[in-house]
Amino acid sequence: MGFSTWVLLILNILMFAALPIFSDSSLSSNQLPEIPKEFLKFAKKAEVFDWMVRIRRKIHENPELGYQEFETSKLIRDELDRLGIQYKYPVAVTGVVGYIGSGEPPFVALRADMDALPIQEMVEWEHKSKIPGKMHACGHDAHVTMLLGAAKILQEHREAIKGTVVLVFQPAEEGGAGAKQVINAGILENVKAIFGLHVAPDLPVSKVYSRPGPIMAGSGFFEAVISGKGGHAAIPQHSIDPILAASNVVVSLQHLISRETDPLDSQVVTIAKFKGGDAFNVIPDSVVIGGTLRTFSKESLMQLKQRIKEVIIGQAAVHRCTATVNFLESEKPFYPPTVNDKGLHQYFQNVAADMIDISSVKEMQPMMGAEDFSFYQEEIPGYYYNLGMKNETKGNLAYLHSPHFQINEDAFPFGAALQASLAARYILENQPESTPLKGEHRDEL
């Protein structure tokens, strides 16, 4: 018996044949686990797995930066056309949003980011990046691939989806706040929950890691110009040394963490840019410093932002310099913390355990990295998790944003099936109590 026929048979057993198959809210818990398991079996089929691998490798060969993902977007649209899935384009410049199901509530969304990084790939393999200085070093090519895999699974059973799955192929996660632009486009107005994943090279394949509450930090960028008066190194008293002032600024900024922050409220300030002077014996007129700030609450982020500005200007003044501070929000918007909905956490654990087993569903520690999935979570309940892809027999994988980063494609069936299962089960478990009568208002696409 084919996979599609098998799943439809299960679903029809669950309720009266004449009723919509997702309309019964009293389904017993022992019937629901079969859907994730069968989705995974389908995703592991050789023809489905090979199809995903081909897609990912084509995307990997042609990486595109944020809001420039035109070829990636075209590939996605071509695949959606082949699958018979309707979509909207463009959304947020290059984004694509697909729809599977009835076009009616409940609405649930799945998200994948599309953009690459300005990194020269150092991995020598057949499908290495063909674009100099650009590389998929954060796994977004895998994310797109697995969302297309989830779309294929769901489209096979579209008649059984009495609700709507929204497929969000999003641009510009890497600093461009593409998620914010998707929200501004009004695409998610009727969506009640959204799920997103990220590949994790340091975690075992087939295992998933997440937690309720804060999972990743909010973050922002800043740059400061500290100006003094240049002069000869032999007569520093005739100068106003901005290098000395900037050095004290860097030290004082660390005191914000060690002496002004609650030790239980994790925060980080990092200065990663320090530029000033071109000669060994000339004090420059100015110095430029820059860095990031990260916290697990939006309130802490805004407070830290204010204190960074005050410290830079104040410390510069102590050394007779002036300073201007720019938080670059028009170019690099502040990302809020990524906070997983506590109700969706239990739901995620149930679905993931039904697909793999409860021992493979792990709780992770929060990370100070940032993720623009957080913008969705400010608007609607959202859940973000890590998908392991490490295979001990193949050695350790380089970490994210490394020029040596690689993908273990064996993780694809797990990611595709889990995303599809999260959407299908959410619709099944959140059916409207009653169907609107003809002429009554209802949310539609």
Cβ within 8 Å of residue 379, ≥6 positions away = 183, 188
How do residues 262-280 score in pLDDT, each as one tens digit?
999 999 999 999 999 999 9
427 in Cβ contact with 108 (< 8 Å): yes
| Angstrom distance (rounded) from CA 442 to CA 445 | 10
Mind listing the pLDDT tens digit for each residue in 277-306?
999 999 999 999 999 999 999 999 999 999
The number of angstroms, rounded, from the C-alpha of 336 to the middle of its chain's C-alpha atoms is: 12
Q: Are 265 and 295 in contact (CB under 8 A)?
A: yes
Does the structure show a pLDDT above 60 at 9? no
pTM for the whole structure: 0.88
Location of structure tokens 């989705």: 39
pLDDT at 17 over 50: no
Average pLDDT over residues 192-215: 97
Average pLDDT over residues 163-191: 96
- What burial class does residue 237 get, using C-beta atoms within 10 Å of its C-beta: 0-12 exposed, 13-18 middle, 19+ buried? exposed
Task: Check residue 32 and give its pLDDT.
Answer: 65
DSSP 171: -
Give the Cα separation of 79 and 52 in Å (integer): 11
| Mean pLDDT, range 27-39, rounded to an integer | 69
Q: Does 174 show up as a binding residue in the annotation? A: yes
**Nearest-angstrom CA–CA distance, 346 and 341:** 9
Tell me whether residue 140 is annotated as binding. Answer: yes
- C-alpha to C-alpha distance for 101 and 161, rounded to whole angstroms: 5
Read off the pLDDT of residues 90-111 as tens digits, 9 standing for 90 and up.
999 999 999 999 999 999 999 9
Q: Is 198 annotated as a binding residue?
A: yes
Q: Report the distance separating Cα 145 and Cα 58, nearest Å.
A: 10
